[in-house]
Structure 1
Amino acid sequence: MSRKLFDEMPERSVVSWTIMINGYLQFGRIEVAECLFREMPMRDVAAWNSMIYGYFCNGRVD
């Protein structure tokens, strides 16, 4: 449902992109979160932190 709304948004802010990424990371959907992150037109510190924290929480750290 949330992805459908996101896809239908005429304009997406950095906040809306980051919220979607966080949602996917919370459910372990790292690959989907990575795809969205790569599609983001602009990435801020919060988006980068979300990805780093998501990798950590999902055991993707070396």
Structure 2
Amino acid sequence: MLSEPEVAKHCAALLEHFADYCEQMDEATRGYVVRLAWELIGDQMDRPSVRRTRRGH
């Protein structure tokens, strides 16, 4: 899906838009958007074989 330049361009624009409003979203909505973003790029966060950790800023 993202191998097509037009699709990738529009997906990137959509993700940038969500990033602008991320701090204003409630936790559930923000989590849903993050999950969709990962799935959009082909990485499923819920895979038990992949461990994700939070890193300090």
Using structure 1 for the length normalisation, give the TM-score. 0.33
Bigger share in helix? 1
Bigger radius of gyration: 2
What is the TM-score with the length of structure 2 in the denominator?
0.35
